[in-house]
Amino acid sequence: MYSSCPIGPSKHESLCVPMCTQITASRYDMPMAKPSRHVGIRELREQSATYVKRAQAGEEVVISVHGKPAATLGPIRTSAPTLTMTELAATLAIIAPRRRGEFTLTAPLAINTGTRIDQALREVRG
């Protein structure tokens, strides 16, 4: 068997072949990431427009200083759209307030150490 078998030496041949096959097959099932290009800071300075265009096209560029990765230049990732409070309440992600209008605290609320927040809120809300 192979000396780099993950199970062990050749005495486990009956286990090694199926296990190695599963390990190899699982590596091909994983999604492949786009390969990133490494570029030194000097080359980036000289050809910055080229690398910005590559990043805009979706390529990720790793910038190195003295041979060590220091930063990444890549495309702007679009964020998820922001939802309004009404939309969040409609999807039941939040519970809409029961009262409308401004809330004013009538008197300062004294909270002792160890008081549970839900009890304090219940006292404020009445």
The pTM score is 0.37
Q: What is the pLDDT of residue 71?
A: 92
The C-alpha atoms of residue 84 and residue 21 are separated, in whole angstroms, by 51
Q: 18 in helix, strand or coil?
A: helix
> How do the domains of the chain map onto residue ranges?
1-32
Helix, strand or coil, per DSSP, at residue 78: coil
pLDDT score at 107: 76
CB 60 within 8 A of CB 38: no
Residue by residue, pLDDT tens for the chain (126 residues) are 344 444 444 444 444 444 444 444 444 444 444 557 889 999 999 999 999 999 889 899 999 999 899 999 998 877 777 888 888 888 888 888 887 788 776 777 778 888 888 888 888 777
Distances (CA, A) of 44 to 69, 70, 71: 13, 13, 12
